[in-house]
Amino acid sequence: MSGKRAIDLSRVVVGEAALARVPGRLARRYGILPVALDDRTLTVVLANPDDPMGVMELESRLSLRVKVLAASRPETVARAIERYYSGAAGDEAPTALAALERLVNRAIQIHCSDIHLDPEGDRGVARMRVDGMMRVAGEFTPTFMADLISAIKVAARLDISERRAPQDGQIVMGSLGDNIAMRVAVIPTTHGEKVTLRILATAAIAAELDRLDALGMSEQHHGMMLSALEQSHGVVLLSGPTGSGKTTTLYAALRHLREPGTNHILTIENPVEIPLKGVNQIQIDGERVSFAKALRSVLRHDPDIIMVGEIRDPETADIAVKSALTGHLVLATLHANTSVSVITRLLNLGVPRELAASTLRLVVAQRLVRRPCPHCAIHEPANEALCAEFGWDSAKPPSIPRVRGCAFCGQLGYAGRLGLYEMTPVDRPLRDLIFSGATEDLMADFAFAQRKLPTLAQDGAAKVAAGFTTPEEVRRVTFLGGGEF
């Protein structure tokens, strides 16, 4: 039995092979969670690391070396044992519904955000997106895939006879002791129907959204966000591509704003992704009730703070900006590539320059990058080429992580994600530029060259130097070369 090292269970991909080697009865009796099986070594986490009896029995019964880790939060071990073993099943799923339950259970276990069921002619393939990357999770015969899709449609209350038109719905089901909400999207392809399940709400996800300072913001960016949220009125806009963490940031902001209990908060979402106590959340139906119509109605309910899931048309943009003029703090998302281009996008939606200048408080662009696995990453000094690319001093190169892959991270080298941010506060000089008709390039030059605010790439470079991510991840999400740092 080896020395005990602390491990964060929320950042570990528990291996199915390890779970299969330890009977659930034994795991529960001794408080043992098997997490990885590598060669002849079984790695386990103990609820009580000072009790050797369970480990001794495992070594005797399995003829394996057992490596013991302690949990960084001991209270999570018992819950994790119930979560993983309550989802145990045989090798074959007897029904389509059982197969769906197994897929969802596994998705929750490995912290998956989306499940994709893809028809490929002679087979159906299940894929899962983990930390932004796709991985194959299983294969089915075409007949069984059709049964599985029918089971999903029934659960989502969709028309099972309709196979030629897209359909959208939602499923709420129990999985591993938690209630899981999933957004369902069905679309016909040349080989059959494709289904995507977006996992919306779990207790683990909600716990991760507790604090703004847990999202990966630098101290400077955290201060900018808090300053904007303390305003009594104005507009805070977040931008980024799909899957860049905008909703996560918005929910964390709402959690911060609701804490004093003195604010009346209303949200307009499609759909409501995570229920928040103390916040009135409105789910719209795009066919009958638009964002603009819902926003107009919400203003009659005397809110202090309004969150709009997405500004996508001139009418919504106009009402959101005018709501800020009448004493409301408005938080919203808007599709743009950089923080300054958010301003341009708002103007393109028909918002007059004087209104944009007087109501905007903060514009944000963000991306998500993967964290290196803490169990297998190694750190080495950056070479001269990397120092030149990322703007580091080659005389004092930072020690940066290099990923390798291990049983804990599913051989991917990464575990978990954090945000990269680019924030531009709209202060008096920038308001003057907006009002005067300055181009996007002039506004960007003022923000990043004159005021020295960090760009997305520069925030990424700082986080690589701090060991939070890798150069490859920053290149992947910023699309920028060395000259932009």
Range 295-303 average pLDDT? 92
Average pLDDT (343-370) is 96
Q: What's the CA angle centered on 116, arms 113 and 119, to 5 degrees?
A: 175
Q: Which CATH number fits domain 96-202: 3.40.630.10, 3.30.450.90, 3.30.70.270, 3.30.460.20?
A: 3.30.450.90
pLDDT, residue 201, reads 59
Q: Pick 482 or 142 by higher pLDDT.
A: 142
* Band of pLDDT at residue 93, cut at 50, 70 and 90: very low
pLDDT of 232 over the 70 cut = yes
Is pLDDT above 90 for 176?
no
For 114-169, the DSSP string reads EEEEEE-SS-EEEEEEETTEEEEEEEE-HHHHHHHHHHHHHHTT--TT--SS-EEE
Q: Which residue has the tokens 């307009």?
A: 268
Exposure string for 391-418, b = 16+ CB within 10 A, e = fewer: ebeeeebbebbebeebbbbbebbbbbbb
C-alpha 103/C-alpha 108 separation (Å) is 9
Average pLDDT (107-118) is 88
Architecture of the domain delimited by 5-85: 2-Layer Sandwich (3.30)
Domain extents in the chain: 5-85, 96-202, 209-484
Distance, in Å, from the CA atom of 311 to the CA atom of 156, rounded to the nearest integer, reads 27
Q: Are the C-beta atoms of residues 36 and 20 closer than 8 Å to each other? A: no
pLDDT at residue number 333? 95
Out of 76-80, 294-298, 398-402, least confident range: 76-80
CB proximity list for 43: less than 8 A, separation 6 or greater:
18, 34, 35, 36, 37, 66, 67, 68, 69, 407, 408
| pLDDT at residue 53 tops 60 | yes
pLDDT above 70 (res 271): yes
User: Where in 1-57 does DSSP place strands (E)?
Assistant: 5-7, 32-38, 41-46
For 268, phi then psi, to 5°, come to -125, 115
**pLDDT, tens digit, 9 for 90 and up, residues 11-32:** 777 777 888 888 888 888 888 9
The answer for residues whose C-beta is within 8 angstroms of residue 21's C-beta and 6 or more apart is 34, 37, 42, 62, 64
Q: What is the pLDDT of residue 115?
A: 96
Report the C-alpha gap between 429 and 156 in whole angstroms.
51
* pLDDT over threshold 90, residue 50: no
Is the pLDDT assigned to residue 484 strictly greater than 80?
no
Whether CATH 3.10.150.10 fits 209-484: no
Other beta carbons less than 10 A from residue 149's beta carbon: 24
Q: Taking the model in full, what pTM does it have?
A: 0.79
